[in-house]
Structure 1
Amino acid sequence: MRHPGLFEFIKNEDQFKDIISKTDIYPSLGIYGADRGQKHFLMSALSFFTCSPLLVITSKEEKARAVLQDMSVFFPPNRVDYFPVREIVPMETYAQSREVVSQRVEIMDKILHGKAQCVVTTIEALSRMLPAPEEFKKLYVTLKKGQEISREDLISRLIRVGYERVEVVEIPGQMAVRGGIMDVFGITASQPVRIEFFGDEIDTFRIFNPNTQRSLESIDEVTLLPAVEFSLAPGEPGWAEGKALIEKEWTLAFKDLDESRVQTVGQNLRDKYDQVLKEMESGIVSYHLEQYLPYFVKGKYTLLNYYRREPFIIVDEPLHVREEAESREEELKEVFRELLEQGKILPRQEEILVEYDLIREEAAERKKAGFSLLPGGSRGFTAVAPVSVSGRDLPQFQGKFPMFVAQVKDWQRQKYSVIIMTSSKDRGLRLKEGLWDNKIEAVVLPEILSAPVEGQVIITYGKPLSGFEFPAAKLVLVSDSELFGRSKLRRPRKQYDQG
């Protein structure tokens, strides 16, 4: 964890000691009173002291992004991940972003291999059915130097797990072939790999820059994650059985039509069935075929089933999460009913939706905590042990430095430890100089490794969306937001190395 000194600072504070002791005794806690920055700090502290991977569930994407940004301050780089939403409703033209699929596949892989320290997501993202973990792992393509595999077999295998064949690879999820050379840009990779064959044997692997084509590194092995969450290509496990179920449902749906609907709804059913069957038998995997997952998988799996080590589950405002889930379910079921009546889907496709009650059942036996501002905010979430936490919003200084100086001196008189997080080193040094000019002996630390002392003012680096005052612990954390005004929350985009 980053800034472990802050967690050490609060570990003996009575309210936080109450939280930690109750996590050892009770399966679920209802923690209320903390908001925004303080809440996200306490969530991070739970990871530090329970030594468990965290799964944080929010009601909406905007809230998830705020949690992600604040918690990233307290975790090492790239240790707080976001699991995004994929559309559930079947679309005629499936416009799902490849980037979204890449992010989801990467998180599923991290969780499977115990590498996910903190995952932030929404209840909507959890409500899309996933394949069984063991079936997902079968889609991995692992290649080793000296391995015997024909180029044609490898091309076929990559197409079956969602890779697109192109002339020149430019983005993740693509492959290109020229003679005995194959370039593959792994769906979660930052650089593509060049595979050279000697007959049917892999001779060399080289990581290269896709812009300059310049080789960067030689490797002996590569694992390519699938570019889809589930493959419906011929020969995959359960393919024949799933296809038979689709045919059976299509036949029954067509027989149930009365004469007045045969020409309209019947034609929709014919068109849809012909399209799906043609795509399935072609072996070319498209994202919208994954909407037929319920025909090929027995049981409903969620992200919770992918954890090897049980996660500590945090639900942010449980009442809001439940309300959002139930509202979304009602809306989706109505859409599915309309599409079914129009002959645009088959009955079992609706089962791709994982209901809130099932997710709650999956979480029932796991350690968890619900965070809410008000005591009643944990309704709909089984909170066995309530815990109250004190917190206050900070003043908005809006660049008024004399006002800020006066407030820092007041906090020092109250024996608070004051942490100031700035977005850059230069800004931190300027703040230090200004505070020293006003007889406040602030120190600049790149990381807070030991607990602050009473009345100490520390300037460090980070970009939380908001600060907080924790009165019981006599701790204040001030962000750029309070100092200079709130900044807009930006949606992070995945970056690919350019060499």
Structure 2
Amino acid sequence: MRKIVEITKKPGDPAVRELLERINRGEDRMTVGGLEGAAQAFLFALIFRYLRRTIIVITPTEKEAEACFRDLSFFLGDEQAFLLPPWDLLTTDMFAFQRETELTRLEVLHRLTFGEPAVVVIPARALMQKVIPFDVLTGYGEWISVGDTRERDELTRKLMEGGYVRVTLVEGRGEFSVRGNVVDLFPPMARHPFRLEFFGDELESIRMFDEASQRSIKELAEFMLFPAREVILTPERRERAVRNIRRRSNDLELPRGTKAKLAEMMATGLGASVNPHFYPLFYDAAGDDDPKVRGMETLFDYFRDSLLILNDPLAVAQAEERIENAIDRFLLKAGAGERFYLNKESSCLTAAGVADRSQTMRQIHIAGLAIGPDVTDRSCVRFDLERDIAVGEAARQASEEEGLLGPLTEKIRGWIGEGNRVTLVCGGEECLQRMGHLLSRYGLSVQKAAGAFLDGIDAENAAEGLFLWEGRVSGGFHLPGMKLVLISEE
């Protein structure tokens, strides 16, 4: 299915430029109306390229977050767009481990903490979930450099405390191995693992290597050692978790045998694979603990100087309310079943808490399509959006009957004649070849391109013509003020 979304603006009033100017003036609250789908993500990408600072995009659901992330990856490239997945916290199984989700989350937390600016897409459910305290995460992170003196036993201990799993052969993120004077490890934010070669206690070399072939890719002078779990499992934290289990079990009036079994499992090593719902056990004060212990923190502690974009604030607020209600029902059921569980506030922000924490951030609100011409809010930057149903239908059927591509090619000629750069996005080489062949039969000259979309165009002064671009995007759009037309295969 192909669809084309047209975005029209009054001459002399380009909405994109107006929004960027208002951001530049330092306005704290801005509203954008009339955009949807990939057109929203394109605007986010333009704002990011303009600001060169981290942008946080909040969506109501995980499905919308995934679509937005995919579109941003097309416009910006994989290294500048990230998706923070939520935990599945609605289970009382203490050892329901979620490894891949955790490694992906840590990659994003690393980027927010130590990396270059990026666009991070976060569904409402993930925004509400608490995270490892910022100071704990930064306290673990350190640069490992050639020439460092370090005992391998001490490095092994630190890796295990940070959630790395010891294996014979490193093949996946969060793994490490030790063979004589060689330590291999795969940090969660790295694209390939690192091989550390020691001479005695001195680190002689660091090489990135391919996990499949085990061949070296390149030498490195240093790298950032980052945890592979949101619990840094020191002996002190393990002891704190045991005390918290006993205290909470007493509060819940659980049988003595249940309390003893849970405490024993935590004390004897199973804490390394604990359910994220129970991470607060390691960070919350255990009654007689240090009063400075603050417990889990929130993603807002990582946002710092970021710009917050709420993609349909009303829908986000409604999603947060549904999520909070689902958590309340889950905990009520857990209590009725005499199961071990933690209070909601230990692992999650309430909807009210999210609203309170977000107040200090600069925000752009992307209004839903319900916004109409009767809206009088002067703070709203408005895009007038149209669907060209006839062209979309012809494009959808083009692969079935070549003749039906005619209306689309005439539209393309019209756009090019008006000085537009027209790009048709295809999801692979086969699609590129097919569409190139079909369009050439209609006398259209086509150029092929690939990579991050914004790297290949000057969005303010795009060269006219027709381009085939390899990639995937959820929908197409037309920006007359930027002389840009994007046609999606989907």
Scaled by the length of structure 1, the TM-score of the pair is: 0.79
Give the equivalent residue in structure 1 for 2:313: 318
Report the aligned-residue RMSD: 3.5
Aligned partner of residue 235 in structure 2, secondary structure: coil
1:281-308 Cα offsets, whole Å, 9 max, x none, are: x496224252525515516522232135
- 1:91 Cα deviation (Å)? 3.5
1:295 alignment counterpart: 284
Q: Partner letter of residue 340 of structure 2?
A: I
Q: Which residue of 1 aligns with 2:272?
A: 285
The reply to whether residue 406 of structure 1 matches residue 410 of structure 2 is: yes
Q: CA deviation at 1:162?
A: 0.9
* AA at the equivalent of 2:178: V
Report the AA paired with residue 258 of structure 2: N
- Tell me the distance in 1 between the aligned counterparts of 2:321 and 2:104: 26
The answer on 1:465 being equivalent to 2:474 is yes
* Cα offsets for 1:179-201 (capped at 9, x unmatched): 44333233333333333444444
Equivalent residue, structure 1, for 2:386: 392
Do residues 184 (structure 1) and 185 (structure 2) align?
A: yes
Q: Which residue identity does 1:304 align to in structure 2?
A: F
Task: Indicate the percent of aligned positions where both proteins have the same amino acid.
Answer: 20
Cα distance between partner residues in 1 of 2:204 and 2:17: 58
Distance 1:193 1:51 in 2: 29
Partner in structure 2 of residue 99 of structure 1: 100
1:479 aligns with 2:466: no
Q: Equivalents in 1 of 2:206, 2:481: separation in Å?
A: 57
Q: Deviations over 1:398-445 (max 9, x none)?
A: 213212123324546777653333345775576566556545566556
Decide whether aligned partners of structure 1 residues 252 and 291 sit closer, same or farther in structure 2, where only a CA change above 3 A counts.
Answer: closer
Distance 1:181 1:338 in 2: 50
Match of 1:328 in 2: 323
**Cα deviation 1:195-225 (Å, max 9, x = unaligned):** 3444444344444444444444444434332
> CA shift at 1:364, angstroms?
1.4
CA distance in 2, matches of 1:443, 1:222: 40
Between 112-121 and 182-191, the greater mean CA deviation after superposition? 182-191
What's the offset of the Cα at 1:327? Answer: 0.7
8 Å CA contact 2:280, 2:346 repeated in 1? no
- 2:303 maps to what in 1? 307
Paired residue secondary structure (2:121): strand
Contact 2:245 2:262 in 1 (8 A): no
- What residue ranges of structure 1 are gaps of 5+ in the alignment? 1-8, 255-261, 378-382, 482-499
Q: Deviations over 1:206-261 (max 9, x none)?
A: 4444444444444443433211012242145xx6666545444434443xxxxxxx
Secondary structure of the residue aligned to 2:18 is: helix
1:196–1:416 Cα change, 3 Å: closer
**Matches of 1:473 and 1:170 in 2, distance apart?**
45
CA distance in 2, matches of 1:441, 1:232: 61
Tell me the SS of whatever aligns to 1:357: helix
Of 347, 356, 366, the residue aligned with 1:371 is 366
Q: Structure 1 residues 10, 245: closer, same or farther in 2, change over 3 A? A: farther
Partners of 1:139 and 1:186 in 2: CA distance: 13
1:66 CA displacement: 1.1
Distance change (3 Å), C-alpha of 1:350 and 1:16: closer
Indicate the residue corresponding to 1:490 in structure 2: none
Give the whole-Å Cα distance in 2 for the aligned partners of 1:116 and 1:453.
25
Pick closer, same or farther for the CA change 1:12–1:125 going to 2, 3 Å: farther
Range with greater deviation from structure 2 (315-324 or 21-30)? 21-30
Judged with a 3 Å threshold, the aligned counterparts in structure 2 of structure 1 residues 431 and 11 are, in CA distance, closer, same or farther, namely farther
The alpha-carbon distance between structure 1 residues 444 and 183, as it changes in their structure 2 partners (threshold 3 A), is closer
1:58 aligns with 59
